[in-house]
Copies of this chain bind each other. A is one copy, B any other.
């Protein structure tokens, strides 16, 4: 059994890691840390886990943590993450970091949108953990920068078409819609029930920090700079993210060619499901799962493609993908612990 610990276990991403790992056949959860709840039983903060997880939240002590774990999940805010990740790497731990701190290749890009990077020497060694795209690199990684939820939902449907040179890469527009759990467990008016319920709105219009992240990855895949437009919106539901992508085609292409392009690109990847027969993804169909559902429609009149992806922002968009990364880098079955059957509703 692999011994796993979670730093920052009581935020939503951390608690989702607890949920998934507590049911993982090859993993024993051994340490949970929480500044706010140190000394309290985890199931007091998340009573849903009573009878399932019996751990007590601890303050982080890196040496003690490392003695009891083989793999480390960091579910802290950016900046706090990069302060401790080097300590774990130095102690030869496998680290999967859910913050933004190790997602970028270009430190200047990171610093332009976040802050000074204090562990920039690790960026080279870190692997961007978008499993379906960087599967091989992940296998031998020691440090994973686990992708953001929006980038996951934007990059997965785009890469096959970008690789096939179907798209005018300067025409990409991504219109994303996220459930409220993306705002986390920290209190805010945005996530206050009466403000979010029965409300739909855009936020950080063309100014969200996930945009440079997705642009960097798309640029690498395209082999030249991709500048896109990205607008996130908030949906009055707990879980789920749907992204609608618009892009101009550079040549005439049929629906069958598109379908084949995406199908073949993901033919070996269990967690990407391509919709058939004009069906479109629905966040309800991926709730609680690590799937990314992808559908598309050709707008032939305008020679434009519409791509739609759906994920559970807390699973494939965060903690599920983190566990998928762990599975890959430890040589386990990629799907281990992640085949919880989806809710039908």
| Copies assembled | 4
Knowing A48-B343, A51-B270, A229-B299, the reply to whether A284 touches B192 (Cβ < 8 A) is no
Knowing A200-B237, A200-B240, A306-B206, the reply to whether A47 touches B285 (Cβ < 8 A) is yes
A175 in contact with B344 (CB, 8 Å)? no
List which A162-179 residues lie within 8 A (CB) of chain B.
170, 173, 175, 177, 179
A231 in contact with B306 (CB, 8 Å)? yes
List which A85-104 residues lie within 8 A (CB) of chain B.
none
A298 to chain B minimum Cβ distance, whole angstroms, is 8
Chain A interfacial positions (CB closer than 8 Å to B): 12, 15-16, 18-20, 22-23, 46-52, 170, 173, 175, 177, 179-181, 183, 185, 187-189, 191-203, 205-207, 227-229, 231, 233, 235-240, 242, 244, 246, 270, 273, 275, 279-289, 291, 293, 297, 299, 301-302, 304, 306, 308, 310, 339-345
Tell which of B18, B50, B237, B297 touches A206, judged by Cβ atoms closer than 8 Å.
B297
A235 in contact with B200 (CB, 8 Å)? yes
B285 in contact with A48 (CB, 8 Å)? yes
B283 in contact with A201 (CB, 8 Å)? yes
A192 in contact with B194 (CB, 8 Å)? no
Tell which of B46, B188, B202, B236 touches A344, judged by Cβ atoms closer than 8 Å.
B46
A191 in contact with B194 (CB, 8 Å)? yes
B344 in contact with A49 (CB, 8 Å)? yes
B194 in contact with A242 (CB, 8 Å)? no
B47 in contact with A279 (CB, 8 Å)? yes
B285 in contact with A200 (CB, 8 Å)? no
Task: Enumerate chain B residues within 8 angstroms of A196, measured Cβ to Cβ.
Answer: 193
Which 9 A-B pairs have CB atoms at the shortest separation, nearest pair first?
A199-B284, A201-B282, A187-B187, A48-B285, A48-B342, A15-B344, A175-B175, A180-B193, A23-B341
B244 in contact with A12 (CB, 8 Å)? no
B173 in contact with A246 (CB, 8 Å)? yes
Per the bound structure, the CA–CA distance linking A18 and B341 in Å amounts to 9
A200 in contact with B242 (CB, 8 Å)? yes
Per the bound structure, the CA–CA distance linking A49 and B343 in Å amounts to 8
A198 in contact with B240 (CB, 8 Å)? yes
A342 in contact with B16 (CB, 8 Å)? no
Task: Enumerate chain B residues within 8 angstroms of A192, measured Cβ to Cβ.
Answer: 185, 187, 191-193
